[in-house]
Amino acid sequence: MDFTLINSFVAVADEGSFSAAAKHLFLSQQSLSKQVARLEEELGTTLLVRSRPLHLTADGRLFLQTAREMLRLKAEYEENASHGNGAEKQLYVGIEHTLARSLLPRILPQYLREHRDTYVRITEESPDALEKAVSYEGVDLVIGSIHNPPSSYQTVPLCKKEQLLVVPKAILDELGGREADALRQQFSVSADMRFFEKAPFIRQPRDSSGGRSLSNYCKYYSIAPRFVCEVTNVENAFQLAVSGLGVLVYAKLFWDTMPQKVQRDYLELVDVFPLPYLPDTDKVCAYYRRGEEANGSTQELLALFTAFFEDYEQGRLWSNNNQ
């Protein structure tokens, strides 16, 4: 039986609609409907009553339990099978793509040195896609920004996601005139975004972690900036700010985990100011599906992420690596 069909059925059952499930599975609604119809044909029964609201038939409710168990066993097999890579164990990790750059080079090499029998498969996605990967793709552990953790997830908070304001020096010089240097000193304690309302801003998609942060600060300061472009990848947005295009709200974690020499080079072109922490800002968390206890290998990897963030929040990140 095709596990893709089973996965699609579970997604539709969980979401309660084809349109919502199709969005999370990155499929068209028509393709998803055809997949579920193929599964029903294979089973010789109707699983869903396609009405509004959509609901499961008696056979559908029965098969949903079986489907979940089949997906669980598949994930368990994939975790333990070597798949020809010579490893005794397999670990499937999802990580927010912007966090991957900051975290993986510091954590993954250490983990694999200590677990030579483990093969780690990593998927890098947006926060929204990763939330669904836990349910539908058998991901063992996710590291990412999460705003409202679903009750179906076991969540381990790792750190607050504080934000910075990245301002091209030319923009501050133009806005501040003779007062530019005094403003730099003032904003080094905490930036006031109201001062930059007339400046060009770089935006990230509204449903992204960076986009939500920007929206929160615009509401906090009651401003309506002039956006000149929208960029999905936050690192590309940062490079555009460095080029002088516009002002950017940027996660402090990403800045802090850059090598210090790289930071010094960037500070020739931009000013980087702290922003006040807003309680409703996304947090960086580790999470996995509740009721599916993380195994020993997963727990050991989680312990490394936890230790990293403890060092980060205590300011010990550079204590043994003064770059």
pLDDT in tens, 67-91: 888 887 877 666 565 555 555 678 8
> What confidence tier does 150 reach under pLDDT thresholds 50, 70, 90?
low
Q: What is the pLDDT of residues 21-69, one digit of tens each?
A: 887 676 788 888 988 998 999 899 999 998 888 889 999 999 998 988 8
| Residue 227 pLDDT > 90 | yes
CB 163 within 8 Å of CB 252? yes
Q: What is the DSSP letter of 45?
A: S
Structure-model confidence comparison of residues 217 and 8, the more confident one: 217
Contact predicate 34/8, CB 8 Å? no
229 strand-pairing partners: 202
For domain 163-274, give the fold: D-Maltodextrin-Binding Protein; domain 2 (3.40.190)
pTM for the full model?
0.70
C-alpha span between 256 and 56 (Å, rounded): 49
Sort 157 into a burial class: Cβ within 10 Å, 0-12 / 13-18 / 19+.
middle
Beta bridge partners of 203: 230
Do domains 81-160+282-313 and 163-274 share one topology? The answer is yes
160, 309 contact by CB (below 8 A):
no
Which amino acid is located at 243 in the chain?
A: S
Q: What is the mean pLDDT of the chain?
A: 85
pLDDT of residue 323: 46
- Contact criterion met (CB below 8 Å) for 64 and 12: no
Is the distance from CB of 148 to CB of 200 less than 8 angstroms?
Answer: no
Which pLDDT belongs to residue 291?
A: 61
Kindly state the DSSP code that residue 167 receives in the 8-state scheme: E
Give the count of alpha carbons within 13 A of 207, CB side only: 4
Length of the chain: 323
Categorize the per-residue pLDDT at 266 as very low, low, confident or very high, splitting at 50, 70 and 90: very high
Domain ranges of the chain: 3-68, 81-160+282-313, 163-274
Rounded Cα–Cα distance for residues 260 and 266 (Å): 10
Q: Which residue has the higher pLDDT, 198 or 84?
A: 198
Locate 257 and state its tokens: 């985990």
What CATH architecture applies to the domain 3-68?
Orthogonal Bundle (1.10)
C-beta pairs of 299-304 under 8 Å, 24+ apart in sequence = 300/111, 300/114, 300/115, 301/91, 301/93, 301/107, 301/111, 301/120, 301/141, 302/141, 302/156, 304/107, 304/110, 304/111
Would you call 127 helix, strand, or coil by DSSP? Answer: helix
Closest CA to 191 of 271, 279, 265: 271
pLDDT value at residue 69: 86
d(CA 96, CA 212): 15
Interatomic CA distance for residues 304 and 75, integer angstroms: 23
Token pair of 322 as six digits: 């003064």
Residue 261: pLDDT above 70?
Answer: yes
Under DSSP, is residue 245 helix (H, G, I), strand (E, B) or coil?
Answer: coil
- The CATH homologous superfamily to which domain 81-160+282-313 belongs is Periplasmic binding protein-like II (3.40.190.10)
Nearest one of 129, 127, 152 to 283, comparing CA atoms:
127
Confidence (pLDDT) at 116 = 86
Cβ neighbours of 52 (radius 10 Å): 6
Identity of residue 81 = A
